[in-house]
Amino acid sequence: MDRRKFFSVTGAGAAAMAAGSVPAAEAAPKSAATGSCASAKLQPLKARLGHQMNGKLNEANCSWAARYGLDAICASPDVKDPARLYPTVEELNQMLDIAGKHKLKVEVIDSVLLTSSNVDREKHPAIVLGQSPERDRDIEAFQTNIRNCASTGIRTLKYNMSILGVVRSGKVPGRGDTVYNKWNYKEALAQDKPQTKAGNVSEAEFWDRIEYFLSKVVPVANEYKVRIACHPQDPGMPPEGYLGIHNVLGTPDGLKKFVGLHESAYHGLNFCQGTVSEDLYHPNEELPDVIRWFGSRKKIFNVHFRNIRGGRDNFVAEMFPDEGDVDFVKMLKVYREVGYEDLLMPDHAPEVEGENAQWGGRENFAFEFGYIRGLIQAEQHLV
């Protein structure tokens, strides 16, 4: 989205509506269920700016985050005992106290279990490997995590159901001194990587493991009114899978099936817009209807607001939000249309290598905070 296009949408578009020069079919929002005109006027945008903090909260990173006026954050609790697979109420309260000191609100936390890393690096992979009785112990820990979130007022617990982790096939030069990650399925196959310790996992086997997990945790989420938000598998893979693994949560249809299992208002998605874009052949055209499907059913609990260039099986770069193929102004209007009221978080900001790596990454996130904040404020004026 370049500067001229941004102002043409947010400024001239608003003026045209006010003057009555925009056809009613374009000016009125579409119903998420039918695609028909629902009303002559959209409700104000309720989405808010957030950030997923890397690492444990401390004075330095909280000061940095507070600088940008974030509405809320996702944080990782500091679990003192590495053998314990959930944070205690005391540890969660300590995390909230650190954030509160800097006027940061924690609305989402990362699960200690079910992270986004490759299964070979996980110390406790029994849930995704379907290994009993270890997975029952781990599921009990996840249930305790839900209960402790309820005790401390944390409304959302984020997790992954991934074996391969976040898979990429290489890097490409980016804007300035940045580096972008890419994914090309054919290139990845040519790299001839070994299978993980999971071996071959069929579609049916993966669904059985997901079903087992959800049957145990969704009732607890219902009882304690804590939302559990699953991140899609990143990226989508062809039907034959990759390294013997079928990424069943790597398509919109797979995600629809997932949220339909053990239907609940507390069972939904950490909707990574970047990952879902990677699941689509033409993301800028197809993504709005995907957002409508999940958003109208209130299955989007958090959004990773990320951009790519390319599409399914071959995205050439994950990049800054203003230069990818996905029109962020267009998508923001759809989030507004479906009444999404949770957080929009920049994600996978471009890397900077070498001596400027740490601060370069922080600067890149700062740019994305400002960009997203500007889009939110502009859209809020179109009422």
Write down the mean pLDDT value for the chain. 90
Q: Is 318 a domain residue?
A: yes
Interval 17-54: pLDDT, tens? 444 433 333 333 444 444 444 445 778 899 999 999 98
Is the pLDDT at 149 greater than 50? The verdict is yes
Mean pLDDT, range 186-200, rounded to an integer: 96
Q: Among 323, 338, 337, 278, which Cα is nearest to 304's?
A: 278
Query: What one-character-per-residue DSSP string does 139-206 give?
Result: HHHHHHHHHHHHHHT--EEEEE--SS-S---EEEE-STTEEEEEEEHHHHHHT-PPP-TT--B-HHHH
Q: Is 11 a domain residue?
A: no
Is the pLDDT at 196 greater than 90? The verdict is yes
Predicted pLDDT at 351: 92
Q: Rounded CA gap, 155 and 150, in Å?
A: 7
Interval 72-101: pLDDT, tens? 999 999 999 999 999 999 999 999 999 999
Could you tell me which residues come within 8 angstroms of residue 118 by beta carbon, excluding any fewer than 6 positions away? 163, 164, 165, 196
Interval 101-135: pLDDT, tens? 999 999 999 999 999 999 999 999 999 999 999 99
Whether 359 and 367 have beta carbons less than 8 Å apart is answered as no
Tokens encoding 4 = 């001229």
Q: To the nearest whole percent, how much of the chain has pLDDT over 70?
A: 89
Q: Binning pLDDT at 50, 70 and 90, where does residue 383 land?
A: low
Interval 217-242: pLDDT, tens? 999 999 999 999 999 999 989 888 89
Q: Give the ranges where the chain is alpha helix by DSSP (H).
A: 3-7, 13-19, 24-27, 59-66, 89-101, 126-129, 134-152, 185-190, 203-224, 252-260, 273-278, 283-296, 328-337, 357-380
Q: Rounded CA gap, 238 and 189, in Å?
A: 12
Predicted pLDDT at 42: 73
Q: Is 24 a domain residue?
A: no
Q: Is 9 a domain residue?
A: no
- Other C-beta atoms lying within 10 Å of the C-beta of residue 119: 17
Predicted pLDDT at 239: 82
Q: Rounded CA gap, 305 and 302, in Å?
A: 9
> Considering only 3-7, 62-66, 298-302, which range has the smallest mean pLDDT?
3-7
Q: Highest mean pLDDT: which of 3-17, 39-53, 208-222?
A: 208-222
> Which CATH number belongs to the domain containing residue 112 in this structure?
3.20.20.150
Looking at residue 233, the DSSP 8-state letter turns out to be: P
Interval 249-272: pLDDT, tens? 999 999 999 999 999 999 999 999
Whether 259 and 267 have beta carbons less than 8 Å apart is answered as yes
Q: Rounded CA gap, 340 and 302, in Å?
A: 9
Task: Decide: residue 236, CB within 10 A, 0-12 exposed, 13-18 middle, 19+ buried.
Answer: buried
Q: Greater confidence, 36 or 202? A: 202
Distances (CA, A) of 56 to 73, 79, 100, 108: 12, 9, 14, 14
Q: Is 190 a domain residue?
A: yes
Predicted pLDDT at 250: 95
Q: Rounded CA gap, 323 and 5, in Å?
A: 12
Q: Rounded CA gap, 186 and 204, in Å?
A: 25
Q: Rounded CA gap, 4 and 25, in Å?
A: 24
Q: Is 18 a domain residue?
A: no
Predicted pLDDT at 65: 95
Domain, as residue range, for 171: 45-380
Predicted pLDDT at 360: 76
Q: Rounded CA gap, 28 and 42, in Å?
A: 7
Is the pLDDT at 336 greater than 90? The verdict is yes
Predicted pLDDT at 31: 43
Q: Among 227, 297, 199, 251, which Cα is nearest to 74's?
A: 227
- Other C-beta atoms lying within 10 Å of the C-beta of residue 270: 28
Q: Is 357 a domain residue?
A: yes
Query: Helix, strand or coil for residue 59?
Result: helix
Q: Binning pLDDT at 50, 70 and 90, where does residue 193 land?
A: very high
- Other C-beta atoms lying within 10 Å of the C-beta of residue 134: 14
Q: In total, how many domains does the chain have?
A: 1
Q: Is 91 a domain residue?
A: yes
Mean pLDDT, range 56-85, rounded to an integer: 95
